[in-house]
Amino acid sequence: MGTDGPDRSRDSLRVLGVLGAGRLGTVLADLAVSAGYDVLIAGSGDPARIARPMAAIGARATRTAEVIEASDAIVLAIPLGRFSTLPVDALRGKFVIDAVNYWWDADGLRPDFEDPRTSTSEIVQRHLVGARVVKALGHMGYQDLRDDARPAGAPDRKAIAIAGDGPADLAVVARLVDDLGFDPVVAGPLAAGIMLEPGAEAFGADVDAAELRAMLDRFPTSQRGIVVARARGGALGFPRGHAAPAPDGGPAYDGRMTGKTLSERTAVVTGAGRGIGRAIAVALAEAGAETVVLIARSADQLAETARLVEEAGATAKPLPADLGDLDALRTLGTRIAAAVGRVDILVNNAGTVEPMGASGSLDPSAMLDALRLNVVAPVALAGALLPGMAQGGWGRVVNVSSGVAARPEAMIGASTYAATKGALEAQTLSMAAEYANTGVTFNAYRPGTVDTETQLWIRSQDPARVGRSLHERFTALHDDGDLIAPMDSARSLVSHLAGDDNGRVWDVRHPA
C-alpha cells in the first residue's frame, strides 16, 4: 500500500462498490480508496446525507442502482436480514463480496441463518441467482480492519480468510485483500464460509496468516465444527480435514452460547433494569447460572428482567438500589449476602453518560455524581463481594467499560464519561494484579455501540448539548442499522466467564 496506489492496469477490478455506509462499509471504502480503487458507496437513504463524509475519504456516495451498474465488484456491508431486498436482476452476472453476518437480535430469529447445514453466504448466493458470491472481509472487526492494515511483507501483518466456489473469483478477492493491507487465506468453497461466522474461532480473529490457517484447521474438532458435521451427515461437506466425532455427552452448540458453562453459579448484575444490563442477566441464565441477582433503581424494570431471566432457566433475585447513593451502596453487599449467600460473578454494568456538553461548562457536582456511579460503586461492590469469592477459590468480576476509554476524542461532549471509563479500566487492571493467584479475576469489557435507551436518549438531545459530531454519528449508526443488539454484546461478554483471563480488556468483537 503506497500513497500513489498500486498499478492496476492489468486488473479486472478497478471500481469497487459498497452497499452499506455504516461502520464496516465506511472502513472498507476508506481502505479501498487508500489502495487505489475507485469507490462508489450507497447507504440506506438519500446519498446526500452521507456525501460529505464519503467525499472526505475519497469515495462517492450514490444510489444502490448506480453502485451495482458501475462497479466491477460489490461488497455487501448491510445487515444480513436485508439480503432479500437486494435486486436479483440487477446483480445477475455481478461479482459480489459477502461481508455480512447473522446477528440474532438485529435480524430476528431466523432458523435458516442458524441452520448448520448451510453457510449464510450460500443463502445469499441462492437469492442472487446468476451472481458470483465470495465470502470475505466480515470475520474481522471493523476497528481491526481500520487499524491493522499493513504493507505486504510487514512482520505484523494480519490475515483475512476468503471462501468461494470460483478459483478465478477467489484470486480477484485475494488480490483485493492484499491491496487493502492483509494477507489472504483461502478457507475453501463457499460452504466453508461457515468457519468465518459467529460461533467459529476465526470469527473476530485479528491474527496473522499462520494462526488463521491453524484456526481453520481446528474447526473440524471444535464444538461448532462437530455440530456442523453432524448436521451434514457426519462430514463438513468441504475439503478441510476430517470432522472428529463428538465425545459422548459433549456439549451441543446452540448458535448462541458454548454450552452451559456456568452451572450452579450465582451472579450479580448492576444496571439490570434495561438495555445491555438486562441482556447480560439473560445471557448468564442461558449459560447455566443458577441464580442472577438483579440491581437497578426501577422495581418495575427489574420485574421485567426477572421474568426474562426465569424464562431462560435461572432464579432471579431483584434488589432495587440506587448505586449513586453512598448509604445504599454501603449496605448493598449485606443485602446481597442475605438474599443469596456467596456470589461467584459480579458484572458492574450500571453507569451514566451524564453530564454531557462542553468540558468547561460542566457542573462539578454532576461530575462527582458520575464518578460515584461509574467508578466508586463498581469498586465498592466488588470489595464487598470479594471475601466470599476468595474463600470459594473462584470469582469473576467484570466492569463494563466503553471503547471511549481508548479513544476519548471519539465522544466530544462526553468527557466525563470518557474519563470515568478510563479510570474504571485502570482500577480493573490494578485489582487484577492485586488479587492475582486467588482464583478471582478482574477484567473490563467494551460492549460496542449497543442499541439501548441511552443511545435513543443521545439521539433525542439537542446536538448543541451532546456535541454535534457525536449526535450525527450515533444517528447515522441507528439509521444504517449498524448498532449492536444488546443480546449479541451480552453473549460475547458471558462467553469469557468460564476462562481464566485476568487483567484483560475484552471487546465485543472478540468473543471467547
- Write a three-state SS string for 433-483: HHCCCCCEEEEEEECCCECCHHHHHHHHCCHHHHCHHHHHHHHHHHHCCCC
C-alpha cell at position 314: 435461572
193, 163 contact by CB (below 8 A): yes
- State the Cα–Cα distance between residues 448 and 105, nearest whole angstrom: 15
d(CA 19, CA 41): 6
CA pair distance 65, 72, nearest whole angstrom = 13
Instruction: Find cell 488463521 and name the residue.
Output: 212
CA-to-CA dists, residue 55 to 33, 38, 47, 49, 341, angstroms = 11, 12, 11, 11, 59
The kind and range of the H/E element at 296 are strand 291-296
Secondary structure class of 5 (helix, strand, coil): coil
- Inter-residue contact 199 to 253 (CB < 8 Å): yes
Whole-angstrom distance, CA of residue 227 vs CA of residue 236: 9
Strands 395-400 and 440-446 come out as parallel
Give every CB contact of residue 326 below 8 A, 6+ residues apart in sequence. 372, 376
Q: How many CA atoms lie within 13 A of 502 on its CB side?
A: 16
Q: Give the Cα separation of 25 and 205 in Å (integer).
A: 19
Please give the Cα distance from 149 to 32 (Å, whole number): 11
Given a contact cutoff of 8 angstroms between Cβ atoms, the answer to whether 324 and 369 are in contact is: yes
Q: Which of 37, 417, 435, 445 is catalytic?
A: 417
Task: Check if 102 is active-site.
Answer: no
Strands 132-136 and 159-164, sheet pairing: antiparallel
The three grid cell numbers given for residue 447, joined into one nine-digit string: 460492549
Output Rg (C-alpha) for the chain, integer angstroms: 24
What's the residue count for the chain?
512
Which parts of 349-427 are beta strand (E)?
A: 395-400
Query: Omega into 355 within 30° of 0, i.e. cis?
Result: yes
Catalytic residue positions?
Answer: 417
